[in-house]
A and B are shown apart, each in its own frame.
Chain A
Amino acid sequence: MNKLSIYVLGGLLLSLFAPSFGFAQTDLDAIKRATVFIYQVQSLANDLVVKCVSTGTIVSADGLIVTNAHSVVPSQTCDGETLIVSMNVDLNEPPVPKYRAEIANADQGLDIAVLRITRELDGRTIAAGALPVLPFVGIGASADLGIDDNVFVSGYRDIGNQAVTIARGTITAFISEPRGGTRAWFKTRAELPGTMSGGGAYDSLGQLIGIPTSAKYGRPVTEDSCRFIEDTTGDGLINSSDHCVPTGDFISTIRPIRLAQSLIRGAALDLRVQIHTVPASMLLSSEPPTVSRLIFSPSVVDGLPSTVVGAMPANTNSLYLFFDYRNMTPETVYELRVTRDGIPDATFSLPPVHWSGGQNGLWYIGSRDQPWPNGAYQFTLLLNGLAAASQRIVVGGGADNSARFSNIVFGLLDNHGNLIGNGYILPIGTIAYARFLYANLRDGTPWSTIWYYGGAEVGRSNDIWSRGANGSDVVQLRPLGGLIPGKYRLELYLDRVLSATSDFVVAGSTGGPLPAVFSNGRYVSASSVFDARDSIASSAFTEAVPSIFALFDWQEIAAGTDWTVRWLVDDLPFFESTYAWVTVESGSDFMLSVDSPPDGNYQLQLLVNNLQILAIEGTVGIGQLPIDRLAEYEGTLLRGRVLDAATLNGIANVTIVLISEDYSASEFEWKEEQVFATSMTDRNGDFQFARPLAADTPYSVIVAADGYLPLAADSFQFGADQRAVDITMELVRGYLND
């Protein structure tokens, strides 16, 4: 007979109560617990000096943290090399430094970084699996959010002096950009200090939907944007000669979490993509960044303006500002200030953020499906805090019936005179054709076309309109020597006013519906780059491989042409990046690799101008990811306190054993395999199980402490709606003699 069955339970009080706070409060607590404060520090002699700070959010139980890149990736402003993670031991107290983290994945343009906790605070490595299960938040669907929806933002209002706080606001606008689409940014009216940058924005379900983001740039230091908190010069004084920690201005922009998901996935799977053929990073220009040719368009078609307008009618709900940019880098901070009738318009302005595009190209910013009140709007672009260009547009008045060109697409003509192709990429050849729409034109109106290659004019024609009021027409470019690879642009003018414009790329040779830019895509497995080129291609690797290499050939790509690498596993992207082409125009065996790929179905996509040119597919192992690799934890967090029944003081260092659902306390034979989890009380008698309990599953608990009568109880069972449960257990002094 098991002696546990005769445990003396008299005198022991086991009080189990549901949370006294509501479900929403439990959600808020869970969000707060998953919120961390991050110091970027620099090692100086035997000291660590704080260089930058930010908020972060734990998104997985094994310690992945999402935050802003600008505060953690080493840069001119934040030049620390070590990341310290502070956690909320007490939700009513400031966070406490607990761990060190490393950057697992980052996109400086999107200003998103994923960190992984890898070391104890003192620098010791945390062995695999040794990190306790950390509280984390679920990732929501940022696409479901609408204007005026509530949003809750978790973060810290100061540099480590205040407890985590949650600010409430509403979504006021969605901002569109090429990188991120129609919802590249959420705007909110929540009051968010700069130290909350990198934190978490949540919907009303408590799901993470975005990352509050703002950029800091080197403008004159003010008390509000930079704090002197340490004597970094060692002169015994803390003053303006010391290093100040930039905190930034108030935040009103949120990056949708959707844009972070491939980074999170790549970090969770520990998949690091290496490009071996050319440097992955851009060849940065030393020239200052500039913007030019600011134009407005009511809509965007494949990243290009549908037409060019100088005014918009009343009830406008879609408007975009297009501009050319040069010499931009991910460290460039850009900002859009919009005024309406001279008054700042916070809804359509974009506060300082890091540049998320390439080095040179065409960009747009705007919004759709949101009413633009009537008025005279002034759009001013600022680069690194300085006004760079400005443009004005009036919204109001009647419907626009003015003459216009629109919707330019490029291609080749077939034998029947029809334009064929994908619209924005042409192969090398002799003639480029452009089809456009026209409306409300009057014959006799002067119009002109101007063609550009690499920013320089290569063709111009002036004519008098004679094709009627509405319809479509085709113009052509026939350069001497044929079309050479590179970036081209067409501008259509009506009466010397720009009416439509569009860009296209010439790359690759003629090869079916799409130009043959990339070809001969294949996977190989090899132990080194040198072996990869000679390895036999395969689309299925049945056993674990140290690395898989993707190789392809390329034809006729001009330097500077933007191309995109997107890598997916089981149809989920884990890597995506756009580069400017920096190697020779044609060649073979361009090589990328991923180390230690887990089982899965891999697809590498190569794109130019957002059009997929080539896809390379292959499987590793069983051809799908292990089930638990991206699984999310769910369940109830069990915590509480163990008290001495006589004194009601907490008992420190008591081990609480939670028995799995397959055994009752009386059946427990003190074997680890029967244990679901253990926890030890801290100096206050508090405990918390690191592993969440499954819903609607009966557990048993045993507390055996020297000097106290043991306590055993069955049927700990919690519903799926109980995110956290507190219990109190009282132990009676005594000694059980069995």
Chain B
Amino acid sequence: MGFDTGRAETVLLTPRQRWSMVFSFVLIGLGLIAGANLRDSSLNRSLIYNNVEAGITARYPHRWLLSETEDYVFRVENTAQLGFNTLIEVRTLPVGPDTTERNLLDRLTLRRSQTLIDYTVLGYDIYVLPDDSAAVTMSYSYVSRDASPFLEGVSAIVAGLDVLTISRGQAVIVSFRADASIFQRERATLDRFIQSLEF
């Protein structure tokens, strides 16, 4: 019993088939790009917040819950976030002739230490604003816990960053807070927010 061995006959693609393949790859590529764009566009969709009284305008992520109270000018938070809701909060404080940025940040620290669990200041730095001016930042962490005494909520470690700048006799403080495990990932949201911030 014998076997006939040898190389298979080469199949030659026709030009039409070659172009079809090229178009297919291009189509797939375009689809991926479009998908990515669509996703980015969805994720990065934003709304405009404008407060004439405080003189503040900013863009914030779509479908973040917007609130305004006497404690701050406004706050937006991502309620779809599983766990601690990433949030950005903008507040203004009056500034006296002798007030320094550190005075204001220390005041925030003293106040927070009374209500936030294990509130710890991690450090201070400089943040360059879109107009190339320098703002002072204070990074911190604390433990967040669901307030309901009847639920078994697990505490979360929250990282925060305050960006403080003094302008026209008032201090504007942008506070950004997110679960510590995703803080760096979420940080881009803060950067985009500050890029859009006008005051």
Contacts and interface: CB of A to CB of B under 8 A. Distances in A.
B151 A124 contact: no
Given A655-B79, A670-B66, A737-B39, A682 B154 contact: yes
Interface residues of B, number: 28
A124 B114 contact: yes
A125 B79 contact: no
B67 interface: yes
Given A124-B115, A125-B115, A688-B148, A705 B67 contact: no
B133 to A, nearest CB: 31
B165 interface: no
Contact of B115 (A130, A655, A707, A737): A130
Interface string A84-97: 00011100000010
Interface string B146-169: 111111111000000000000000
B184 interface: no
A734 to B, nearest CB: 13
Given A672-B66, A672-B68, A737-B38, A87 B150 contact: yes
Nearest to A4: B63
Contact of B65 (A125, A131, A657, A688): A657
A654 interface: yes
B81 interface: yes
B65 A87 contact: no
Contact of A686 (B65, B117, B151): B151
Interface in A654-670: 654-655, 657, 670
B115 A127 contact: yes
Interface string B65-82: 111100000000001111
Interface in B34-92: 38-39, 42, 63-68, 79-85
- Chain B contact surface mostly: loop
A679 B63 CA distance: 17
Contacts of B83: 652-653
Interface string A10-22: 0000000000000
Contacts of B81: 655, 706
Interface string A690-701: 100000000000
B154 A655 contact: no
A511 to B, nearest CB: 54
A602 B150 CA distance: 39
Contacts of B146: 680, 682
A671 B65 CA distance: 5
Given A670-B66, A672-B68, A683-B153, A132 B147 contact: yes
7 contacts: A89-B149, A99-B149, A127-B114, A671-B65, A672-B65, A688-B150, A737-B39
Interface of A: 33, 87-89, 96, 98-99, 120, 122, 124-127, 130-132, 134-135, 651-655, 657, 670-673, 675, 678-684, 686-688, 690, 704-707, 710, 737-738
Given A124-B117, A671-B65, A682-B152, 6 more contacts: A127-B115, A657-B65, A670-B66, A672-B68, A686-B152, A690-B148
Q: Across chains A and B, which 3 residue pairs bring their CB atoms closest together, nearest first?
A: A672-B67, A682-B151, A704-B80
